[in-house]
């Protein structure tokens, strides 16, 4: 295909791994997406619908869908599920009150047929805030060890500084190589 620029050819020839970024409103999903893309904190407003970006990490291509988390939007999450390889669940580690709601949404999602092959990365976000729940605490409250039918991993992070985000991406890449 002589007339295509190299960038197009590489886009066609590399496999793209579909990722959905979900979680309650205000968890930091959009902030994380743009940290991945630009290593910068962008000004966000609540997402209505979704944002989608291609994120390339050491030659691994991810197509990441950041989906709005407000209550009225959650019933639409399932329209993004088909062919999803990774679910990134972003938890606001300061939001103790809504962790039960988060847990219900998580298990509802994991029961969905279209996500049966998806691996789950949980980001315990906002670790910079004093007295936020630790990743271990969130893992316990969400009973992550009870998840037997999906590979899962939890990672503490701060989307404002980017701390913890590369470690999460490394885990995702390790799951691809393991396949």
Ligand X SMILES: Nc1nc2c(ncn2[C@@H]2O[C@H](COP(=O)(O)OP(=O)(O)OP(=O)(O)O)[C@@H](O)[C@H]2O)c(=O)[nH]1
Active site residues: 70
Count the helix, strand and coil residues of the chain and give each as a percent rounded to the nearest 5: 35, 25, 40
Binders of Mg ion in range 12-71 (CB under 5 A) = 29-30, 47
Min dist. Cβ of residue 45 to Mg ion (A): 8
HSE-CB for 26 with a 13 A CA cutoff: 6
Tokens of 52: 């989608």
155: contact with ligand X by CB under 6 A: no
Pairing of strands 152-156, 119-125: parallel
Pick one of ligand X, Mg ion, none as the site partner of residue 51 (Cβ within 5 to 8 A by kind): none
Pairing of strands 16-22, 86-92: parallel
Classify 95 as helix, strand or coil.
Answer: coil
128: contact with ligand X by CB under 6 A: yes
Question: Which of the stretches 62-70, 95-103, 112-120, 144-152 binds ligand X when contact is defined by CB under 6 A?
Answer: 62-70
**Contact positions vs Mg ion (CB under 5 A):** 29-30, 47
Q: Which residues are annotated as a binding site for GTP?
A: 23-30, 69, 125-128
């Amino acid at each position: 295909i002589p007339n295509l620029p190299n960038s197009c050819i590489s886009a066609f020839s590399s496999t793209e791994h579909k990722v959905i970024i979900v979680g309650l409103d205000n968890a930091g999903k959009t902030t994380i997406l743009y940290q991945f893309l630009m290593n910068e904190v962008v000004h966000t407003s609540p997402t209505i619908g979704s944002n989608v970006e291609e994120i390339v990490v050491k030659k691994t291509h991810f197509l990441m869908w950041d989906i709005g988390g407000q209550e009225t939007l959650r019933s639409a999450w399932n329209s993004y599920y088909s062919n999803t390889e990774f679910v990134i669940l972003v938890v606001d580690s300061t939001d103790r009150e809504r962790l039960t709601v988060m847990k219900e949404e998580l298990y509802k999602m994991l029961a969905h047929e279209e996500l049966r092959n998806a691996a789950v990365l949980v980001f315990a976000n906002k670790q910079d805030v004093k007295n936020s729940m630790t990743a271990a605490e969130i893992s316990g409250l969400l009973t992550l060890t009870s998840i037997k039918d999906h590979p899962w991993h939890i990672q503490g992070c701060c989307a404002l500084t980017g701390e913890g985000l590369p470690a999460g991406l490394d885990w995702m890449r390790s799951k691809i190589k393991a396949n």
